[in-house]
Structure 1
Amino acid sequence: MTLVVATHNEGKLAEIQRILADDLGSNAEAITLVTAGSLGLPDPVETGVTFEENALLKARDVARRTNLPALADDSGLIVDVLGAAPGILSARWAGAHGHDKANNALLLAQIEDIPDSRRTARFVCAAALVLPDGGDAGQRVGDDDNAAEFVRFGEMKGSIIRKPRGEHGFGYDPIFVPAEQPDRTDEDGLPLTSAQMDAGEKNAISHRGKALKAMTEVISAHIIGL
């Protein structure tokens, strides 16, 4: 069975493949993953006001265009002192979509005077799976009476530091220290930022990893048929 991942990011495809392989073992071979980008599909305009709405919007669009099962996610950073911002605007907080350094610089400037004890934050991810011919297997949310839809969530709590550290990851990873940490510190003895972790360490605790791991149960039951 082909499962279309609603993204143009091949790195995200590889991440999902690793999660499926870890959770499903050899049964993961029953699924062929492809990206929306590889099929030449456009990115839909994200008009939702929540992570769940945007994840469903992307998955529905791909499912309708391909008539294949579609998986999408939407995620962002919530900073408590900013009243849950940047939230769904995380990728374009400084104006230009995906300008990581500008987003980080603006966020650090906005909370510059906030003491370390109040710089709590969390990454949140909503993963959505749409099955075009799913019958009544999932919760009906959209307009197509034949489709089945599932949403799962993941969260990674932590705090915002004052200066970026690390070269891995993307987005706000260099300024975010997860509460869950691997059994090591950085060269200065400090807890690791997400950008100082390797892919395995980050995926084990990340919001996206948790949401996608929860979704593998749905994939197993309703796509593979285990």
Structure 2
Amino acid sequence: MTTTDLTIVVATHNEGKLAEMRQILEECLGERAAGVRLVSAGSMNLPDPVEDGVTFEENSLLKARDVAERTGLPAVADDSGLIVDVMGGAPGILSARWCGRHGDDAANNALLLAQIEDIPDAKRTARFCCAAALVVPAAEADGNGRHRIAREIVRTGEMPGVILRAARGEHGFGYDPLFVPDDQPGRTNADGEPLTSAEMTPEEKNAISHRGKALRALMPELAAALL
């Protein structure tokens, strides 16, 4: 397989993740990235598998496995969430549905703030964690049209920081308006305060994010396994 005929399926229905991965791919692989074609599972009308893993690593692998088995193409997937120290690691893998409904950012944020309302600022430490998985299928398919798995690789990344008492910023998603990363881009907001993830530009956030770190760690393995 060469860089002129390599297609990788990103196991997501979020097209924004494709752009982020393409940027990281070009950053890490240079000219070798030119012939790599990225497509989303959503663009191929593939269903979302049930995420019944109990860790970020398990969920990223099961998503990538499902796509690789269905398509016979290498697949990349990630799973991520917020770990709040004083909450014993919650919301963790339940981050996107912490309030009981998947993807209700406002309700998730409100519940989190209520749960740690009495926690002093110095103890509101947290971190975003991400696991990124690469799954490479074998060429042969079974009688059901599913491909067996030839290789699996997982890498992780973290973005430490603290949880605020009120949301700030209009960018990002999820818990971004409540989260101030330890790593900052060298500027402050209009009030002279460190930026939340939601106050950063996409480029600033991608440079320090848990997902960016996990995907960058995966890229050398991708190059070694596929290119």
User: What band does the TM-score fall into relative to the shorter chain?
Assistant: over 0.9
| Partner residue in 2 for 1:16 | 21
1:107-186 paired onto structure 2 within 5 Å: 107-133=112-138, 146-186=149-189
Q: Please, what is the CA RMSD of the aligned residues?
A: 1.1
What percentage of aligned pairs have identical amino acids?
69
Return the structure number with greater strand share: 2
Structure 1 runs (4+) deviating above 2 angstroms are: none
Deviation at 1:110, TM superposition (A): 0.5
- 2:92 equivalent to 1:90: no
Within 1, Cα distance between the matches of 2:202 and 2:32? 23
Q: Distance in 1 between matches of 2:73 and 2:28?
A: 22
The one-letter amino acid of 1:214's match is: A
- Residue 141 of structure 1 corresponds to none
**CA distance, structure 1, for counterparts of residue 89 and residue 53 of structure 2:** 16
1:35 corresponds to 2:40: yes
- Deviation, 1:24, is 1.4
Residue 219 of structure 1 is matched in structure 2 by: 222
- Paired position in structure 1 for 2:206: 203
Instruction: Report the residue type matching 1:72 in the other structure.
Output: A
Q: C-alpha displacement at 1:30, in angstroms? A: 2.1
Q: Give secondary structure in 2 for the equivalent of 1:208.
A: helix
Q: Which runs of 5+ in 2 are unaligned?
A: 1-5, 140-146
1:42-61 aligned within 5 A: 42-61=47-66
Q: Given the two structures, how large is their TM-score scaled by the length of structure 1?
A: 0.93
- Between 37-46 and 16-25, report the one with greater CA deviation: 16-25
What is the alpha-carbon distance in structure 2 between the residues aligned to residue 198 and residue 27 of structure 1?
27
For residues 15 and 7 of structure 1, the distance between their equivalents in structure 2, rounded to whole angstroms, comes to 12
In 1, Cα distance between equivalents of 2:214 and 2:201: 19
For 2:108, the equivalent position in structure 1 comes to 103
Q: 1:190 to 1:75 in 2, by over 3 A?
A: same
In structure 2, the partner of 1:66 is 71
SS in 1 for 2:12: coil
